[in-house]
Structure 1
C-alpha cells in the first residue's frame, strides 16, 4: 500500500525581530492548517502541523527532508501553507520569472523563495506524487494595496518587502545564485501546485478560514467531491470571487494518472 505524508504550515504572525518590527498578524491561518490536517488525516495521511512560531525555515525544511527520505515511488506528499506571501527581485538572469520577481512564502523567521520550495521537492524520489496548496498572496505586480484593505490580505506590505530586501539583499542573491547553479545538474520536481490566486492578485484572510481554504473545504464536502485535480481546481475557482482566481500549475511532468485521481488519494 502507498504511504501518504502531509505537512501543514499555518502562521498567524511572524517574528517582528526578523521583519523590522512587523508582526504580520493574521486571523485564520492556524485554522487553515488544522482543517487541512484533519482532511489529510481522514484521507489516510500521516499528518504533521507547524503553527506560527514553529513555522521556521529550519523546522519546515527538516520535515520535508525527513519525508523525502521516507517516501518512495508511488507514495504521496501533501504540503499546505497558509500565511503571508511576498516577493524579492530575481537577480540571477533567468528568464522564467516574467515579472522579474521570485515569489516567497513568509515563514516565521524569513522569506522562503519559491525556488527553495521546488528544490526541497526535487529531493524526493522519482515517482513520488507531490501535491501542494498555497493559501497566500502571490502578487506579481507588487502594487500597493488599496487603503484599508491590507489587514484582510495575506500579502507582506510592499514597503516592508522592500525594506527587508534591502537589508538582506546579499543573503537572497546568494541563495538565488546557488539555486541557479544547481538547476543545471538537479532533477526538477514533478509536482502539482494549486495556489490561492494569480500572480497579480491577493489572497484574502477570513474570520475562520482564508477565502481559498474555506472554499476548498466546501467543494471537498467531507469527501463527497468526485473528480480529478483539474475538476477540483475548476470547482474551487468557480466558487471564488473574480478578484481572487486560484491557479493550477505543474512543475516537471506529473503522471496523468495522478492528475486524474480523486483528490487526496493515498
Structure 2
C-alpha cells in the first residue's frame, strides 16, 4: 500500500531582500500540489504547502524532518519535495569539497552574516543530503527543484521583461571572490550520492545555467514547472519520465528559454504504467 506525503514550497518574497522578489514561485507550489492530486492521486491531507513568509528555513526543515521520521517509522513510503526559490552558493565548511562551493537554497528568512550568508537562514545541500540519507531503502523520494545555483550561464535573453533568473549571487565582493575560487558540484551529485539510491530528482537546469521565473500565459511561473505540469497532465502517467523530460526540453527550447532540465533516477523506478525509464543528462 502506498502511503505518501508531499511538501510543496514556493518563495516569491524575501524578508531581508525586497529587491530579490520573484513572481512565479508561489504559483509553482500550488501547481505542483494540484498536479499531485490530479495525476498522482494525492489527497489534500497528504500535501503541505509552505509559501512566502511561512517558508522559513525552520519551517521547511521541520516539515522535511517530520516526513523522514514518519518514513523511518514505516508510516510513509513515498515522499515528494518540490522547491521553487532562488538558489545561491556558500563556501564548503565540512571539508568534503576542498576546492568547491556548496549549493544552497534561499528561504523567506534569508539573511546575511558578515560577508557571507547566515547559515541559520539558508538551506545548504549538505543538510538535505544528511537528512534524506536516513530514509529506508524501500522509501521512494521524489524531488523537484525549480531554482538555480550559478549565474555563469546568464544570457541577455534571461533578462527580458517577461523572465528573471532564479539566482542570487553571494552577498558581498569577498564572498563572490571566494566562490570564484571554487566550483560547485551539480546538485544531483551532492543531494543524492553516498548511499541514497531510491530517488528521483528533477532539476530545472544544468548546474552552469539559470532557471527562469517567467510570464507565461498571462501569469508568472517557473518555466520548468509550468511545462513539466503541462506534459505530465497530458501524459497522465502513460509516458516515462524520460519522455516527459524530452517533451519539457522541447517546450522550453521552442519558447526560447536557455535552460536544460535534468533528470536523475534509478532505471528500476517507474510509474506503475511505465514500460521504460532512463537516466537522462
TM-score bracket for the superposition, by shorter chain length: 0.7 to 0.9
Question: In the TM superposition, what are the counterparts of 1:195-206 in structure 2 within 5 Å?
Answer: 195-206=203-214
Q: Deviations over 1:130-179 (max 9, x none)?
A: 0011011132x646765981873343332xx142985xx9xxxxxxxxxx
Equivalent residue, structure 1, for 2:279: none
Contact 2:227/2:252, CA 8 A, preserved across alignment: yes
Equivalent residue, structure 1, for 2:186: none
User: Normalising to structure 2: TM-score of the pair?
Assistant: 0.72
Paired residues, what number? 234
Corresponding residue SS for 1:153: strand
Deviation of residue 47 (structure 1)? 0.7
What are structure 2's unaligned runs of at least 5 residues?
110-120, 179-193, 275-281
**Separation of aligned partners in 2, 1:144 and 1:88:** 19
Corresponding residue SS for 1:206: strand
Contact 2:167/2:210, CA 8 A, preserved across alignment: no
Equivalent residue, structure 2, for 1:224: 236
Matched, 1:32 2:28: yes
**Separation of aligned partners in 2, 1:228 and 1:11:** 29
Corresponding residue SS for 2:50: strand
Would the alpha carbon gap of residues 220 and 143 (structure 1) be closer, same or farther in structure 2, given more than 3 Å must change? closer
For residue 81 of structure 2, the aligned residue among 71, 75, 79 is 79
**Separation of aligned partners in 2, 1:101 and 1:116:** 14
**Separation of aligned partners in 1, 2:167 and 2:228:** 23
Equivalent residue, structure 1, for 2:114: none
Deviation of residue 189 (structure 1)? 5.6
**Separation of aligned partners in 1, 2:173 and 2:66:** 30
For residue 243 of structure 1, the aligned residue among 247, 250, 258 is 258
Contact 1:75/1:129, CA 8 A, preserved across alignment: yes
Equivalent residue, structure 1, for 2:6: 6
What are structure 1's unaligned runs of at least 5 residues?
170-185
Q: Deviations over 1:195-236 (max 9, x none)?
A: 000011111112332110111011112553522222222222
Corresponding residue SS for 1:108: coil
